[in-house]
Amino acid sequence: MIRWMTSGESHGQALTAIIEGLPSNLKIDTEEINRYLAYRQSGYGRGARQKIETDMVKILSGVRNCLTLGSPVCLMVENKDYKNWEEYMSPYGADVTARRLTRVRPGHADLSGVLKYDQTDARNILERASARETAVRVAAGTIARMFLRELGIEVCGYVRSVAGISDDKEYTAAQLCDVKNSELFMPDPVLCEEAKRRIEQIKEEKDTAGGIVEIRVNGLKSGFGSCMSYGEKLDGHLAGAVMGIQAIKGVEIGLGFEAARKRGSEVHDEIFFENGKFTRKTNRAGGIEGGMSNGEEIILRAAMKPIPTLMRGLNTVNFDTGEACRAATERSDVCAICACEIVVESTVCFALAQKVQERLGGDNMREIIERYQKL
């Protein structure tokens, strides 16, 4: 199965990802990777760091003449801000007394990480726990997107709710084609403007905002995942991957939690047989039944908590002294829901690519495409 691993710190030299198990002869479009990296840095409510970093991917191995070789692919996204942090972050000798962080931030990994890894500086935790890591995850996820597209599987998404402003209308995937042109990835321009005003209010109050993103998958045939082994359920695999993203506190598929408030007749999708095919006239299950894809559109939503770094700080303690204080303020966004949408989208792409190759096998794209077409 396709596997990946990322490394790197927020203010280190670079972020890297190694992808193992990709088939050979997958065409790689570096411009598309960079476009999704730019999407990740966009969105209303972002902070000053997005003006410093302009993320670009470098492919270090596993690709020749824009085609994968079948060997591990290594990706790198440079941290341009490293030049301002080298004396504090250098692996060859650094001033670890400067920029030391002891006023741990509620909602962040700071305190739990300091205790678990026996550290005296929360910077050794926050540098890795930072959402900056997701830049290289987006790069890897975009390669997975290219793999899925070769099979006719498309993944898209949008922001359904931000800062308490929700869009409850239902959209087709076709209606979401241009949503990335919106400053908040919201299809409704009126709600987008309302959400922008809310974000400005929150910024003035030195607070932060979260939201909900929705991801759609079209073109995935039935039978991916398993009902025989619970560890192989498609919904469990997707939910686990998405919950692994920084700031995600909830995942639902289809009706999700709403299903618990309805009767069975309002939840389950009735099955029909028309023109030689099994069909459903509703998709409340969100494209997954019994842990397996059923051929319908997959609909997944993820809830992002507000960013835990508040410019006004929250009550906490200094872990050095145990004294009450206000939490430290690192440079931060007010709202990063657009970044979250891109990261969730990319993570879903990678998790799906894993399940697709797990079932189809194959060492090169030709045989994988042939096997998928026969399903």
- Given a cut of 80, whether residue 351 has pLDDT beyond it is yes
pLDDT at 52: 61
Confidence (pLDDT) at 53: 64
Instruction: Give dist(CA 329, CA 106) in Å, integer.
Output: 11
Dump pLDDT digits (tens) for 57-75. Answer: 999 999 999 999 999 999 9
Rounded to an integer, what distance in angstroms lies between the CA atom of residue 356 and that of residue 359? 5
Half-sphere exposure of 257 toward its Cβ, with a 13 Å CA cutoff? Answer: 6
Answer yes or no: is pLDDT of 50 > 60.
no
pLDDT value at position 331? 62
What is the pLDDT at residue 310?
85
Q: What is the pLDDT of residue 194?
A: 97
Q: How far apart are CA 73 and CA 76, in angstroms?
A: 10
Q: 207-255: per-residue pLDDT in tens?
A: 999 999 999 999 999 999 999 999 999 999 999 999 999 999 999 999 9
Encoded tokens for 296 = 């319908």
Helix, strand, or coil (residue 131): helix
pLDDT value of position 308: 87
What band does 45 get if pLDDT is binned at 50, 70 and 90? confident
Sign of the torsion formed by the C-alpha atoms of 32, 43, 241 and 268:
negative
pLDDT given for residue 1 in this prediction = 84
Structural contact between residues 217 and 180, judged by C-beta atoms closer than 8 angstroms: no
Q: Minimal CA–CA distance to 286: which of 274, 306, 302, 303? A: 302
Going 240 to 246 to 250 to 252, the CA torsion angle's sign is negative
Compute the CA torsion angle 193, 199, 200, 205 (nearest 10 deg). 160
- Flag whether pLDDT at 48 surpasses 80: no
Distance CA 350, CA 338 (A): 19
CB 281 within 8 A of CB 287: no
- Of the given ranges (45-54, 114-123, 222-231, 277-286), which has the lowest mean pLDDT? 45-54
How much is the pLDDT for 313?
Answer: 86
| Tally of CB atoms within 10 A around 87 | 12
Mean pLDDT of 345-360: 98
**Pairing of β 292-293 and β 288-289:** antiparallel
Rounded Cα gap, residues 315 and 328, in angstroms:
10
pLDDT at residue 321, as a whole number: 93
Q: Contact 211/161 with Cβ under 8 angstroms? A: yes
Separation CA 88–CA 296 (nearest Å): 51
Q: What is the pLDDT of residue 223?
A: 97
Nearest CA to 225 out of 215, 217, 233, 216 is that of 233
**Any alpha helices (H) in 53-133, and if so which ranges?**
86-89, 110-116, 123-129
Token pair in block for residue 238 = 């997707």
Percent of the chain whose pLDDT exceeds 90: 93
Across residues 156-169, what is the average pLDDT? Answer: 97
Give mean pLDDT, residues 347-374.
Answer: 98
Residue 261 has what DSSP assignment?
A: G
Q: Are strands 73-78 and 165-166 parallel, antiparallel or unpaired?
A: unpaired
pLDDT in tens, 102-119: 999 999 999 999 999 999
pLDDT at residue number 49: 54
Pairwise CA distance, residues 169 & 310, whole Å: 32
Q: Residue 348 carries which side chain, given as an amino acid letter?
A: V
Residue 126 — very low, low, confident or very high, per pLDDT cuts 50/70/90?
very high
Amino acid at 158: Y
Residue with tokens 């990322």: 6
